[in-house]
Amino acid sequence: MIDPDSDRPAYRQLADKLREDILNGTLPPGAALPSEERIHQEVGLSRNTIRRAIGTLRQEGLVIVDPPRGTFVRMRGPEKLVLLEPGDSATVRVPTPAQRRQYEVPEGVPALIVERADGRLDVYPADLTRIQSSEPPPKKK
């Protein structure tokens, strides 16, 4: 399954395999991934290497880890709709610890920061939002 002679590093090969299992439904949302020790027994890689593969899936938002219960395919709720009104602007940041504390964004999740026309800031977990331009305001002509 994992080819040590491949140009592709072992941890990426493992991440690819798990990602495919998630995206094709073999590991459905909410399902537990095999434990690190279990994967070690199955594929022979060291725990460090396995953790690295799972770490990339965490970055991609595909799994969440709930220690020490296990690692689970992420349940993705419906996307939250964020309307961008004229005069608003938005940026995406991987928040620093200070920003995370300030806006209560979960660790590792990019934050969508909307600067409203009136100066207020709205912050959302970027991977569960859909951004749309507001409808053009009614204009009398």
Partner DNA sequence: AGAGATTTGTACGTATGTATG
Partner DNA sequence: TCATACATACGTACAAATCTC
CA distance 96 to 106: 11
Which is nearest to 14 in space by CA: 30, 29, 3? 3
CA distance 15 to 35: 14
Nearer residue to its own copies within complex by CB, 39 or 112: 112
* 62 sits near DNA (criterion: CB under 7 A): no
Q: 1, 87, 120, 141: which one contacts its own copies (CB under 8 A)?
A: 87
Q: How far is the CB of 8 from DNA (least distance, A)?
A: 8
* 4 sits near DNA (criterion: CB under 7 A): yes
* 117 sits near its own copies (criterion: CB under 8 A): yes
Within its chain, how far is the Cα of 27 from the centroid? 16
* 59 sits near DNA (criterion: CB under 7 A): no
Bond from prior residue into 97 cis (ω within 30 degrees of 0) = no
Binding site for its own copies (CB under 8 A): 12, 16, 19, 59-61, 79, 84-97, 108, 110, 112, 117, 126-127, 129-138
